[in-house]
Structure 1
Amino acid sequence: MDTTLQDPLVGQVLDGRYRIDSRIAVGGMATVYRAVDTRLDRVLALKVMHPALAVDASFVERFIREAKSVARLAHPNVVQVFDQGNDGSYVYLAMEYVAGCTLRDVLRERGALQPRAALDILEPVLAALGAAHRAGFVHRDMKPENVLIGDDGRVKVADFGLVRAVDTVTNTTGTVLGTVSYLAPEQIEDGTADPRVDVYACGVMLYEMLTGDKPHDGDSPAVILYKHLHEDVPPPSAAVPGMAYELDEMVASATARTPALRPYDAVALLAQVRDGRGRLDEDQLDAVPPQALAVDHDNGDDRTTVIPRALTTPRPLPADGDDHASGPALDRTSRFASPPPPPPSRRRSGIRRGPAAIVVAVLLALGLGAGVWYINSGQFTKVPPLLAKTQDEAEDRLQDAGLEVGKVSHAHSDTVKRGTIIGSDPEPGARIRVNDAVSFTISDGPETVRVPALAGQKLGEAQDQLRKDGLDPGMVTREFSEDVPRGSVISARPADGTKVRAGTAVALVVSKGAPIDIPDVTGSDEADARSELTEAGLKVKIATERVTSSEYDKGQVVRQTPKSGGRAAEGDTVTLTLSKGPEMIEVPDVVGDSVDDARQALEGAGFEVDEDRGLFGIFGDEVKSQSVEGGRTAPKGSTITIKIR
Structure 2
Amino acid sequence: MDTTLQDPLVGQVLDGRYRVDARIAVGGMATVYRALDTRLDRVLALKVMHPALAVDGAFVERFIREAKSVARLAHPNVVQVFDQGTDGSYVYLAMEYVAGCTLRDVLRERGALQPRAALDILEPVLAALGAAHRAGFVHRDMKPENVLIGDDGRVKVADFGLVRSMDTVTSTTGAVLGTVSYLAPEQIEQPGAADARVDVYACGVVLYEMLTGDKPHDGDSPAVVLYKHLHEDVPPPSASVPGLAYELDELVASATARTPDLRPYDAVALLAQAREARAALSADQLDAVPPQALTAAHSNAEDRTSVIPRALTVQRPLPVNEDDAEPEAVFNRTSRLAAPPPAPPRSRSRGPRAPRGPLVIVTAVLLALGLGAGVWYINSGQFTKVPPLLAKTQAQAQERLAEAGLEVGKVERAYSDTVRRGTVISTDPATGARIRHNDSVNLVISAGPETVKVPDLQGYKLDKARTVLKDSGLQPGMVTREFNDELSPGFVISSEPADGTKVRSGSAVALTVSKGSPVDVPDVTGESLADAKAELAEAGLKVKVASVRVHSDFDAGQVARQSPVEGRQAAEGDTVTLTLSKGPEMIEVPDVVGDSVDDATDELKAAGFEVDEDRGLLGLFGDTVKSQSVAGGDRAPKGSTITITIR
TM-score range, shorter chain: 0.3 to 0.5
> Which structure has the bigger radius of gyration?
1
TM value normalised by structure 1: 0.48
Q: With structure 2 as the length reference, what TM-score do the two structures score?
A: 0.48
